[in-house]
A = this chain, B = another copy of it.
């Protein structure tokens, strides 16, 4: 269903791969400081090709954010596999986050959304919307697992799934910020372990 031959000259590049390269540029430099020349060089696409395929710079940025959000949700859902104990789930969420955050040429990149979209969120409403939606979707997914934990007795009946989820997310937000601030992997892993303990302290 994707090979319906289109009429004109075919694309000489893979839009998904190009989006991945653009994402790296935005990740390192942020939206405002990433120039179309940077993006053009990284993607090996001329500016008109970029423009034709993705729209203007803000459109391109929003596309990369959407893709990142989706990838993140996939990682999250896999980490929250309900056949595992809650404690393992949360530990896997943090491990998955750190695997993404601790990767950069000069310095760790942290989270694309928290690290770069936050900066634009005040002035660019569409960016703020994606950021807010992403955070909420993450919370909701964790909350689902927390509710299940209460039903199963992994957590006491008195536990508040929504608040536990938001606090679990909070630790992840902190990991994102601290990674970009230059904290060591050891420090971040220690915080993640403490976070698991704090969130799942009452779980077996």
Q: Which residues of A contact B (CB under 8 A)?
A: 27-33, 104, 106-110, 114-116, 118-123, 125, 128-129, 131-132, 135, 160, 163, 166-167, 169-171, 173-174, 176-178, 180-183, 190-191, 194-195, 198
Contacts and interface: CB of A to CB of B under 8 A. Distances in A.
A116 B121 CA distance: 10
A167 B181 contact: no
8 contacts: A28-B122, A33-B123, A106-B123, A121-B181, A128-B180, A131-B182, A135-B183, A167-B191
B171 A118 contact: no
Given A170-B195, A173-B174, A28 B107 contact: no
Contacts of A110: 118, 121-122
Between A30, A115, A135, the greatest number of chain B beta carbons within 10 A of the residue's beta carbon is seen for A30
A109 B128 CA distance: 11
Contacts of A167: 171, 191, 194-195, 198
Contacts of A182: 121, 128-129, 131-132
Contacts of A171: 167, 170
Name the residue among A120, A121, A176 with the largest chain B CB count within 10 angstroms. A121
Contacts of A104: 122
Contacts of A191: 163, 166-167, 170
Contacts of A29: 32, 122-123
A182 B118 CA distance: 10
A190 to B, nearest CB: 7
B181 A166 contact: no
Contacts of A194: 160, 163, 166-167
A60 to B, nearest CB: 16
Residue in A122, A128, A173 whose Cβ sees the most chain B Cβ within 10 Å: A122
